[in-house]
Chains A and B, each alone.
Chain A
Amino acid sequence: MSSHREAPAISRDPVADNTDLYAFVSPDDPGTVTIISNYIPLEAPFGGPNFFEFGPDVRYRINIDNDGDGDANVIYEFAFETTVANADSFLYNSGPILSLESANWNRRQSYSITRISRGRSQVLAENLACPPCNIGPLSTPDYDMLASEAIHSLPGGRTVFAGQRRESFYVDLGSIFDLGNLRPFENLHATFGLPSLAAAPGVNGTDNFSVHSIALKVPKADLTRRGSTPTNASSPDSVVGIWASASRQTATVREPWSGSVHDAGEWMQVSRLGNPLFNEVLVGMGFKDL
């Protein structure tokens, strides 16, 4: 399911904007479930020198409801930290990044993952490395290798990755938001008195854009209500509801005398993605931010 820039407020806060959520039984490991939650819509690959990154002031969550009441029974929470090696350099990297330990990489991110269930928080891992952004053939000549290095095995048979990936959601955004003028049928579309248009092939509007993905593979027993590995698809124990979210703290203060920013207070959900396109197309413009 997918919703990019679905409401005015979240479109002004892209690092917290859930764009896509995928959840499926892992084809390579049927005893596990893979959940992919994407954020930051429509990242242009050339968006430097300050390339895209997760918000260190955002808490990202993958939420699991395993008893059908709409409340999360299992939560995986991700918190990111940014490290700058050379504060005097404006560059993201000063040479090719050939490994995640590269001294040429000036600005990197790491993260922790915490599992919350039954009121108990368990830190599964800390200081996990993200890959750099995929910058180009000089800076990241072997991006697949860098991305592979950023796949981490966790206790309990879990696997996690967090970082930039190519957007895989196929959609002709340009024609959809041009009054629903889908290109293959635009010769049949109402033209509001304008000259008629010829039919044309669809265009993948998100092609060659990226997102930031949090990909998590966990054993089925990590998610189910009784911690079992269900085998009967029609059993209630086999059913889970999954949604992803992003939260920010209640208050943000920008100090005029120091230029620093302080966040304080409870974490408040500012983005959620569960049902496809709910807020994007079912909720009126005046109510989307509520």
Chain B
Amino acid sequence: MSDSTRRAFVKNSAVAAAGMTVAGALVAEQADAKAVATSGPVVAYVRDPRTGEISVMAGERQVRLKDRKLAARLARAAR
């Protein structure tokens, strides 16, 4: 279990409903996503598409990526 703080959790989850996108297909195109290879759902959370920072979550794993193109594609898909 992470030592992440409650403050971080609240900040991250506060905007999750707006920014979260189920993105299995898109993320699968990224080499970094190999780290979360899974048969279950994959959740990508783009807190701010301009920075390209993406949290990819699968099962109990969570990987942080920095990919502006992918973040932009996800943001466009959510519009």
Q: Binary interface profile of A, 123-153, with partner B (CB < 8 Å = 1, else 0)?
A: 0000000000000000000000000000000
Question: Please, how many angstroms separate the alpha-carbon atoms of A260 and B10 in the complex?
Answer: 23
Query: Judging by beta carbons under 8 Å apart, are B6 and A253 in contact?
Result: no
Tell me, yes or no, whether A9 is within 8 Å of chain B by CB. yes
Inter-chain contacts of A262 with B (CB < 8 A): 40-41, 43
Tell me, yes or no, whether B78 is within 8 Å of chain A by CB. no
Q: When A251-B20, A253-B43 are in contact, do A264 and B57 touch as well, CB less than 8 Å? A: yes
Query: Judging by beta carbons under 8 Å apart, are B1 and A264 in contact?
Result: no
Tell me, yes or no, whether A259 is within 8 Å of chain B by CB. no
Tell me, yes or no, whether A249 is within 8 Å of chain B by CB. yes
Inter-chain contacts of A249 with B (CB < 8 A): 57, 60
Tell me, yes or no, whether A179 is within 8 Å of chain B by CB. no
Tell me, yes or no, whether A267 is within 8 Å of chain B by CB. yes
The number of residue pairs between A and B whose CB atoms lie closer than 8 Å in the complex comes to: 69
Q: When A250-B13, A253-B43 are in contact, do A267 and B20 touch as well, CB less than 8 Å? A: no
Indicate the member of A264, A268, A269 with the most B CB atoms within 10 Å: A264
Tell me, yes or no, whether B16 is within 8 Å of chain A by CB. yes
Number of interface residues of B (CB under 8 A): 26
Q: Binary interface profile of A, 72-96, with partner B (CB < 8 Å = 1, else 0)?
A: 0000010000000000000000000
Inter-chain contacts of A266 with B (CB < 8 A): 1-2, 4, 57, 60-62
* Nearest CB of chain B from residue A210's CB, rounded to whole Å: 27
Please give me the residue from chain B that is nearest to A77 by CB atom. B1
Query: Judging by beta carbons under 8 Å apart, are B57 and A247 in contact?
Result: no
Inter-chain contacts of B42 with A (CB < 8 A): 264
Question: Please, how many angstroms separate the alpha-carbon atoms of A290 and B6 in the complex?
Answer: 6
Query: Judging by beta carbons under 8 Å apart, are A251 and B43 in contact?
Result: yes
Tell me, yes or no, whether A270 is within 8 Å of chain B by CB. yes
Interface residues of A (CB under 8 A from B): 9, 59, 61, 77, 247, 249-253, 262, 264-270, 272, 289-290
